């Protein structure tokens, strides 16, 4: 970009003075692409339109009504009656930080289950808080072993929380949440759950398991742009927040203050991201219209068809069948295929984005997301057709039409 300058030009009979040089700038016209990576996924067009509704003041009675409705819809999606169920004004990682800074005090011990990038992130985050982190590790692509958690809980009965990623976005593994939540609660510990890639795509059993802190992000199975982190806080956790001895180390994410704005008091904390909340409101309405159970079943069916297609094309799945995430599938791509050129071909020729492998899986694995609005039969068949074309054009041996046929059979049998 050059330095600003002034220029006069004629536009009909109106003289326009242009002070900057934005008319020389490339137009910002992002093309529609099909986002089948680990997120963001494509928002429903209704959600994008909602974002451009007129901005209201953050204490305007009309906006307050939208806030109330949004929390009510969030409770539906989280399966909870928790009063403190709100969107945090940041992306999913801000939700993670909110959960940890509000569930721990300096000197506390935290048991953290680590089986990928997002478990590591929780450990990094807790480590910044003068908290002793007890790691329970699992190999990449595997679930955490509840027996290891049982051992950690026994060895550290003074730990205050157990933290677990429900749906590990870096590996596509669904973690054994039920057993681990039970272990935590039997030993008087609170459980902190990352539900970023599960919420809206499968059950997140908040009230059924009495989960204490559960956070998510808007850009995965809620089909809303990134920018908000829904969180729900149970009664036991709220009790801790009310009685903590030290202030929450973060002001921006301090739930004791934020809850006074979202609760009846409407006490000003920070200016809510108004238009993002319109978007979340609309995306939650769409989920309510479909119904949670129907939505979860849809995610399962499309995942099943995708997997049948990938396997018929000769590819191997990373995760054992019982731990596969309905919303995110990790697959070893064929040997001899170069990672980046193949994904770029898919993006440039077909407008489809899929995700690279992270950490241990870098350069060996692709991550394919079928999240929210994107989890459909047309998308599965389109992706399989495009993948076949890209792989064959790059020299891989893929049995012709086998992927599409296998996926179609799943749909016919459903």
Choosing from 154, 208, 247, 397, the residue that interacts with its own copies (CB under 8 A) is 247
Of 163 and 181, the one with the shorter C-beta distance to its own copies is: 163
Q: Which stretch binds its own copies (CB under 8 A): 35-43, 155-163, 316-324, 378-386?
A: 35-43
- How many alpha carbons lie under 13 Å from residue 234 in its C-beta half-sphere? 22
The residue from 8, 11, 26, 245 that contacts its own copies (CB under 8 A) is: 26
**Contact status: 194 vs its own copies (CB under 8 A):** no
- Binding of residue 237 to its own copies (CB under 8 A): no
- How buried is 54 (Cβ within 10 angstroms: 0-12 exposed, 13-18 middle, 19+ buried)? exposed
Size of the site for its own copies (CB under 8 A): 91
Residues 1-20 that bind its own copies (CB under 8 A): 1, 4, 6, 18-20
Bridge partners, 331 (sequence order): 317, 366
Q: Among residues 274, 301, 305, 318, which is the contact residue for its own copies, using CB under 8 A?
A: 274
What x/- string results for residues 102 through 141 when contact with its own copies is judged by CB under 8 A? -------------------x--xx-xxx------------
Residues in 252-271 at the binding interface with its own copies, rule: CB under 8 A: 252, 268-271
Residue from 256, 263, 294, 336 that binds its own copies (CB under 8 A)?
294
Does position 414 interact with its own copies (CB under 8 A)? The reply is no
Q: How far apart are CA 99 and CA 86, in angstroms?
A: 12
CB 136 within 8 A of CB 144: yes
Six token digits for residue 357: 């492998």
Scanning residues 44 to 103, which ones bind its own copies (CB under 8 A)? 48-58, 60, 62-63, 65-66, 69, 72-73, 76, 89-94, 96-97
Cβ-proximal residues to 385 (8 Å cutoff; 6+ apart), any chain:
403, 404
Q: How far apart are CA 205 and CA 278, in angstroms?
A: 26
Q: Which residues contact 72 (CB under 8 A, 6 or more apart)?
A: none
Please give, one letter per residue, the 3-state secondary structure of 55-76. CCCCCCHHHHHHHHHHHHHHHH
């Amino acid at each position: 970009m050059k330095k600003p300058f002034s220029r006069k030009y004629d536009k009909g009979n109106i003289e326009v003075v242009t002070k900057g040089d934005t008319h020389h700038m490339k137009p910002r016209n992002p093309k529609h692409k099909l986002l089948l990576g680990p997120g963001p996924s494509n928002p429903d067009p209704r959600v994008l339109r909602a974002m451009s509704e007129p901005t209201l003041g953050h204490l305007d009675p009309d906006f307050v009504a939208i806030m109330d409705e949004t929390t009510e819809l969030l409770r539906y999606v989280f399966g909870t009656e928790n009063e403190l169920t709100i969107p945090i004004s940041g992306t999913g990682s801000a939700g993670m930080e909110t959960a940890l800074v509000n569930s721990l005090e300096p000197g506390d011990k935290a048991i953290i289950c680590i089986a990928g990038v997002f478990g590591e992130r929780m450990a990094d985050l807790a480590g910044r808080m003068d908290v002793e982190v007890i790691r329970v590790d699992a190999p990449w692509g595997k679930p955490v072993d509840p027996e290891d958690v049982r051992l950690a809980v026994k060895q550290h009965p003074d730990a205050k929380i157990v933290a677990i990623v429900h749906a590990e976005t870096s590996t596509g593994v669904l973690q054994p949440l039920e057993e681990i939540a039970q272990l935590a609660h039997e030993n008087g510990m609170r459980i902190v759950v990352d539900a970023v890639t599960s919420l809206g795509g499968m059950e997140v059993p908040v009230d059924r398991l009495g989960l204490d802190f559960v956070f998510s992000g808007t850009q995965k199975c809620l089909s809303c742009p990134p920018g908000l982190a829904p969180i729900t806080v149970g009664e036991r956790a709220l009790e801790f927040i009310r009685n903590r001895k030290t202030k929450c180390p973060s002001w921006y994410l301090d739930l004791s203050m934020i809850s006074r704005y979202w609760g009846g008091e409407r006490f000003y904390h920070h200016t809510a991201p108004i238009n993002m909340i319109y978007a979340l409101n609309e995306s939650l309405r769409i989920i309510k219209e479909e119904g949670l159970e129907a939505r979860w079943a849809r995610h399962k069916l499309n995942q099943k068809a995708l997997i049948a297609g990938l396997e018929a094309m000769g590819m191997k799945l990373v995760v054992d069948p019982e731990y596969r995430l309905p919303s995110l599938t990790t697959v070893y791509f064929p040997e001899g295929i170069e990672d980046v050129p193949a994904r770029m071909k898919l993006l440039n020729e077909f407008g489809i984005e899929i995700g690279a492998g992270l950490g241990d899986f870098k350069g060996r694995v692709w991550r394919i997301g079928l999240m929210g609005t994107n989890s459909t039969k047309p998308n599965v068949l389109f992706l399989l057709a495009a993948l076949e074309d890209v792989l064959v054009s790059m020299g891989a041996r893929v049995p012709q039409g086998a992927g599409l046929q296998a996926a179609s059979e799943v749909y016919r049998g459903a």
